[in-house]
Amino acid sequence: MFDTHCIEVGSETLFRQAPMTAHDYMLKASDIDELLGKGYAKQHPELIAAYMQTAATDFGTAIVAGGIETLSTLVDNAVNR
């Protein structure tokens, strides 16, 4: 799991990271051909887009959930002192 309470990067770093993340998702989307046959992904770009959207949503949700869990723990610790 990611250490969500220690994300210390600026918007410029995140801006530079975004295309690299999209590139990694695109490369991983090539697994579609392994599952559905060679050339399938190229013939169905909407499937690649859906794959990338799902991966991004899943990652974002994991980050938010981790942050909520961290915040919950901090609040619980503060209340129970």
Domain assignment of residue 3, yes or no: no
**Count of C-beta atoms within a 10 Å radius of residue 48:** 17
**Total of domains in the chain:** 1
CA distance 38 to 3: 38
The three-state secondary structure class of 25 is helix
Domain that holds residue 34: 16-79
- Whether pTM exceeds 0.75: no
CA distance 76 to 73: 5
Domain assignment of residue 37, yes or no: yes
Give how far the C-alpha of residue 13 lies from the chain's centroid of Cα atoms, to the nearest Å: 16
Instruction: Tell me the pLDDT of the chain (81 aa) as tens digits.
Output: 445 456 677 778 878 888 888 888 888 888 899 999 999 999 999 999 998 899 889 888 888 888 888 889 889 889 988
CA atoms within 13 A on the CB side of 58: 8
